[in-house]
Amino acid sequence: EDLTKETLLLLNAPIPIPEQRVRAEEVQETLQQMILHGAVVAYKQYLYSPRVFGQEDDTARMIAERLANISVAENIESALESVRESLGITLSQKQEQAVRTAFQHGLTIITGSPGTGKTTVLKAIIEVFKNLHPKGKFALMAPTGRASRRMAESTGVDEARTLHSALGLGTGEEIGDGERVRFVDADLIIVDEFSMVDMWLAQQFFKRIGQHTRVVLVGDPNQLPSVGAGNVFYELIHSGMVPVTVLDWIFRQSKDGLIAYNAKFINEGSTKLYYGNDFVFVDSPTQIETARRIQDIYCKEAAERGIENVQILSPFREKGEAASEQLNRAIRERVNPFRSAEEEVKIGNRTFRVHDRVMQTKNTEKVSNGDLGFITGITTGSKGERLVQMDFGGDRKLTYTPEQLAHVDLAYATTIHKAMGSEFETVIIPIVKAHTIMLYRNLLYTAVTRAKKKVILVGHKPILFMAVHRADISKRNTMLGERIRLYCKAYNTERNALPELQQAG
């Protein structure tokens, strides 16, 4: 019924003559034909594209099969005590519970906001596993390159990889049905930032892990959901079938640190925020004034901390002076102005200069979507084409052709969505009326939790309070959780019936 109404509004908007407008009966008849011919799939009140329906159903079945496969619970007490001593750590009751649960089940979830000790738990799980299985194999994964490198730095394990890389998915977003599936050779897999995983990637992940591999999924369900279809992490947690440990005690910051506490207040819908040296609000009445102040603040913070440690996060990419694209152009002119034609290259209406801060926007073999780096040089190739040298850190020093620059953006400012899975020392966030349509609690929470040392909010405080009070009401149309429950029920019924059949035989 809702779909019919929306379709009629869309199709009839440009038609002024009532007699020529599309009727509800025509929409419903066309929809029935699409269902009959397999163009869409109808299930209860939901309509799916066949591709997404297959992804959701396949993923639910694989998860239920994993849950039905009874894992051997391991006694970890001796190993856990040894790890406590070797790492010199004291685990809270919830943290110990998370470690124990990881070795009792084939699939477990650990959730918590920043500062609640998720990294400490991951270190403990890895060390307990190594203690129990000296020759065992484990794998660390995350959805983005930045998240995987952050995971490697925080756990001290160099081998953390992106999901695409670890699963052998290459650089594309699709994989043909006929392509050979490569299983991950690991006895334990830990995936961080799992809230970023969409339906397609979840299907590819569960398709490539063995039934006896222990899987630990880690993330923060209060952040923005995945960019792609589905709400996988939320659905897994609320299915009631997967063991979940919620870490809710803040450890990370010192007593005077405000970021983690204010993130918790924002998530709870409270506007009673604390302000201080590491959580600052700069009042600014208009978007133009907000953009000007953000530029001043950025230049000051970048001079003190380094450009690589300061990031502007805007709700919008293109709307107004405080959107990321406009801020990028304005700030670049201040921190990296024109010097000579030899030190810049123009691609369409975009200009790149030596020393620019840039972001990769598409997965490649060497760099991932969302990776940040700097332009280190611009040269002329043998055919007269301009070649741009970039440094993305480590051994990732690459040369780009003009065509490859289509997948590169300036990155002094970026959108909050693009920053998911990343962390920065200082984060600067515009809070303006023009961005109201995007300002929900989970967007603000995601932006604030990208900061490790300092948050600077610039704008109008009533808009900030509105965002805190606005829970995201946009429900994702997915039934993954319900499908998992249905498949689990079917597998349990089948398992319970087997002894009776064997006895009857």
Residue ranges per domain, the chain? 1-39, 54-167+184-251, 258-473
What's this model's pTM, rounded to 2 decimal places?
0.86
Q: How confident is the model at residue 255 (pLDDT cuts 50, 70, 90)?
A: very low
Contact 264, 250 (CB under 8 A): yes
Per the model's pLDDT, the better-predicted residue between 1 and 362 turns out to be 362
- CA distance linking residue 401 with residue 196, whole number of Å: 31
Q: Which helix or strand (DSSP H or E) is residue 357 part of?
A: strand 357-360
Q: What is the CA radius of gyration of the chain?
A: 25
Domains 54-167+184-251 and 258-473 belong to one CATH topology:
yes
- How confident is the model over 296-303, as a mean pLDDT? 96
Q: Which of 151, 116, 131 minimizes the C-alpha distance to 74?
A: 131
**Percentage above 70 pLDDT, the chain:** 93
Q: What angle do CA 151, 357, 346 make, to 5 degrees?
A: 135
- CA distance linking residue 312 with residue 428, whole number of Å: 5
- CA distance linking residue 66 with residue 200, whole number of Å: 18
For residue 301, report the phi and psi dihedrals to the nearest 5 degrees.
-65, -40
For 128-204, list the strands marked E by DSSP: 138-142, 161-162, 188-191
Q: Is the pLDDT of residue 400 over 90?
A: yes
- How confident is the model over 195-216, as a mean pLDDT? 94
Q: Which of 33, 36, 37, 26 minimizes the C-alpha distance to 4?
A: 26
Residue 334 CA neighbour count, 13 Å, CB half: 18
Per the model's pLDDT, the better-predicted residue between 256 and 385 turns out to be 385
- How confident is the model over 223-228, as a mean pLDDT? 88
Q: How confident is the model at residue 501, as a pLDDT?
A: 52
Q: Is the pLDDT of residue 284 over 80?
A: yes
Q: How confident is the model at residue 128, as a pLDDT?
A: 95
The most confident of the ranges 14-18, 117-121, 166-170 is: 117-121
Q: How confident is the model at residue 220 (pLDDT cuts 50, 70, 90)?
A: very high
CATH fold of 258-473 = Rossmann fold (3.40.50)
DSSP 474: -
- Class level of CATH domain 54-167+184-251: alpha beta
Q: How confident is the model at residue 473, as a pLDDT?
A: 60
Q: Which of 323, 315, 319, 325 minimizes the C-alpha distance to 291?
A: 323
